[in-house]
């Protein structure tokens, strides 16, 4: 991308990953890097256009005429929200993805990097999962609507490449967390939900904190600022339409109980953690291999989990009134 002006449109730009990318891009601008001199970044949220609507999506592309797109926009939610609204998750995300990719084709966008999720992988599979296994079987029943819609991005990417020569690709991050996350209890993922609920318990002076489920399911978590740096690397360097996994190492997979204890330490909470085993655990594990990433970007260093959690909790405490709560 160096040597010529690029206009990069980020859909879902007001969300967790979009804001992390903005933070990294702003840091590059302050350092006056070569990339920052040649890139114009546009971060769009839902208020800038309803991507479920084809006309609104095309109006956005007509307005900004992007040369590159990072596609993050999606209808998202936690385990229990997914379980109750699978059809909605499928239909709305299918509409968003089809509209964004077709507008990218119509407006001759040079490259699109879309964001998938490890939940798209088959429920019954061997571990670790990697990029070749996306379509090997049905996803977990709890979030099949979201999972199938995200899988279809890969199908669309291959179609646009084979039929029109487009460089549309995708990344598959493990569970993302960090500043600007969604901390709403009804729709948040596990880390922001635990951070928000523990803060509530502390404010109320309650002696115990309840975690839904057994605490045994294991997950890999990536700090949003690390993911943002990897997104920029993919945008600038990765030219394959095949997906690439953006995940921490396999050894960094943690049980939810360890996550809760780390958040407790970051909060300075002195009460006890108990587990409500009457609540569903969801998928036990989704161990992901980042072998492909490590082979292409050998020296990338991930932020230690405890440091990332401490920074995220501090951000939430400082921004609770304006955060998505």
Active site members? 146
* 3-state secondary structure string across the chain: CCCCCEEEEEECCCCHHHHHHHHHHHHHHHHCCHHHHHEEEEEECHHHCCCCCHHHHHHHHHHHCCCEEEECCCCCCCHHHHHHCHHHHHHHHHHHHHHHHHHHHHCCCCEEEEECCHHHCCCCCCCCECHHHCCCCCCCHHHHHHHHHHHHHHHHHHHHHHHHCCEEEEEEECEEECCCCECCCCCCCHHHHHHHHHHHHHHHCCCEEEEECCCCCEECEEEHHHHHHHHHHHHHHCCCCCCEEECCCHHHCEEHHHHHHHHHHHHCCCCEEEEECCCCCCCCCCCECCHHHHHHCCCCCCCCHHHHHHHHHHHHHHHCCCCEC
């Amino acid at each position: 991308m160096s040597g010529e002006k690029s206009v990069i449109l980020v859909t879902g730009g007001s969300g967790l990953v979009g804001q992390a990318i903005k933070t990294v891009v702003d840091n590059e601008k302050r350092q006056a890097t070569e990339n920052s001199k040649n890139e114009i970044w546009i971060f769009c949220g839902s208020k800038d256009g309803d991507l479920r609507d084809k006309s609104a999506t095309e109006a956005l592309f007509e307005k900004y005429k992007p040369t590159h797109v990072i596609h993050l926009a999606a209808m998202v939610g936690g385990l229990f929200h997914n379980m109750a609204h699978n059809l909605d998750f499928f239909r709305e995300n299918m509409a968003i993805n089809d509209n964004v990719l077709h507008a990218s084709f119509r407006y001759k966008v040079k490259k699109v990097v879309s964001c998938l999720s490890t939940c798209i992988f088959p429920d019954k599979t061997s571990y670790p999962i990697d990029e070749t296994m996306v379509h090997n079987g049905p996803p977990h029943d709890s979030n099949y609507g979201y999972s199938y819609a995200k899988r279809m991005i890969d199908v669309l990417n291959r179609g646009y490449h084979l039929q029109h020569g487009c460089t549309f690709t995708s990344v598959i991050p493990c569970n993302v967390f960090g500043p600007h996350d969604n901390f709403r209890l009804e729709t948040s993922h596990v880390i922001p939900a635990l951070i928000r609920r523990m803060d509530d318990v502390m404010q109320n002076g309650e002696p115990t904190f309840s975690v839904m489920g057994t605490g045994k399911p294991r997950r890999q978590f990536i700090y949003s600022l690390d993911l943002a740096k990897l997104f920029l690397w993919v945008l600038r360097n990765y030219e394959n339409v095949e997906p690439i996994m953006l995940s921490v190492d396999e050894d960094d997979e943690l049980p939810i109980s360890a996550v809760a204890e780390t958040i407790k330490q970051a909060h300075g909470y002195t009460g006890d953690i108990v587990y409500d085993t009457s609540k569903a655990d969801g998928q036990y594990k989704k161990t992901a291999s980042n072998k492909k990433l490590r082979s292409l970007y050998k020296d990338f260093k991930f932020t230690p989990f405890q440091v990332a959690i401490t920074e995220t909790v501090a951000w939430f405490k400082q921004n609770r009134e304006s955060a998505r709560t």
